[in-house]
Amino acid sequence: MMRDEPRLIPPGAEDEVRACFPLMRELRPHLVSEDDFVDRWRRQEAAGYRLLVLWENGEPVALAGFRVQEILVHGLHLYVDDLVTRTGRRRAGHGKAIMDALKQEAARLSCRKILLDTPTGNVLGQRFYYREGFALTAFRFMLDRGAA
């Protein structure tokens, strides 16, 4: 199989984003349609959200959605919103390739840290993050106020 290096989707490249919808839906099943995904991507892209995608034979097999933030507690950092490898393609090094590319992007952007959240039940993901050098440093609390 022909695997490319992970690469950023260029701003405005809607066709590439559409190609990522089935993969993103594996992670975010609440996305109701390809158009819904693209609309959300457009809004988030305007606020700095980027998609880093690993393609294999012209199909996305892993991706990360991220943004750069600066906050008092962490300074300038790269925040990973979304990270997924296609079901059936896991344990083939795709996640590591995406993570290595995220680390390179963080260095290029002068970010000292990479942060992400993961569900408490995502044990396999947590093992992966530990292997990649991440440490558990906080708990995230959420108050769901319903539809806005």
Residue 146 has pLDDT above 90, yes or no: no
In-domain check, residue 27: yes
Residue 121 has pLDDT above 80, yes or no: yes
Residue 143 has pLDDT above 90, yes or no: yes
Q: Which of 62, 123, 114 is nearest to 93 (CA)?
A: 62
In-domain check, residue 15: yes
In-domain check, residue 138: no
CATH code (residue 105) = 3.40.630.30
Domain count, the chain: 1
> Which pLDDT belongs to residue 98?
97
* pLDDT tens per residue across span 39-71: 999 999 999 999 999 999 899 999 999 999 999
In-domain check, residue 145: no
CA 43, CA 8: separation in Å to the nearest integer? 17
> Which pLDDT belongs to residue 93?
92
Question: Can you give the residue range of the structural domain that contains 68?
Answer: 7-131
Q: pTM value?
A: 0.92
